[in-house]
Amino acid sequence: MTDAAMAHGPRPPLILASASPRRLGLLASVGIIPDAVEPTHIDEHEIPGELPGPLALRLAQEKAMAHPSVRAGGDAFVLAADTVVGVGRRILPKTLDEAEARRCLDLLSGRNHRVFTGIAAAGPGGAFAARVVETRVKFKRLSQPEIDAYIASGEWHGKAGGYGIQGRAGCFVVNLIGSFTGVVGLPLYETSNLLAGLGYPVTERMGERPTK
């Protein structure tokens, strides 16, 4: 167990192995506050021929398994996730420059695409569970001024597929089938079930009053 986890006594500690403020915020929205945020770092490049869904699942699993507590067989709960946007068999990048973001938005304009979020959790005694959640999203046909305005907002930076549905890009969405929170970065229904299945007291945490 890490020092951060030990400080919380008998309550099972939860470590979020992700630096994403969106995932932290989603957990907090249902009363689940991780005892520590300790992101892990792995090679996120896809294997040649790898499809979007299997990639999201593999990366989530590798991120969870890379945490020191898991490697050492500790008794903390470790949660990791990864989100991948796919158009057919094509994997869209987590955009880091404007040109890349524009290419993604041009491709997504007026089309259906799929968002895959892999979640993986490790628990005491070597327990481990993982799954991938698929959501289908359709964008309206984007005008050049709309793309320009979104690029100017900067919201695309570091986002899978070049957009964040919880922000300005929400007005591009014509239809969504699946998990909205999964597109944001952490499907809450599946995540809470995964943690509960490993023995984490999800319901008890939901009932806790926030500390002031």
Active site residues: 82
**Nearest to 91, CA basis, from 75, 102, 107:** 107
d(Cα 27, Cα 191) in Å, to the nearest integer? 9
Q: Is 57:180 a contact under the CB 8 Å cutoff?
A: no
For β-strands 173-177 and 128-139, DSSP reports them as antiparallel
How is residue 107 written in tokens?
Answer: 């491709």
CA distances from 129 to 38, 61, 70 (A): 19, 9, 13
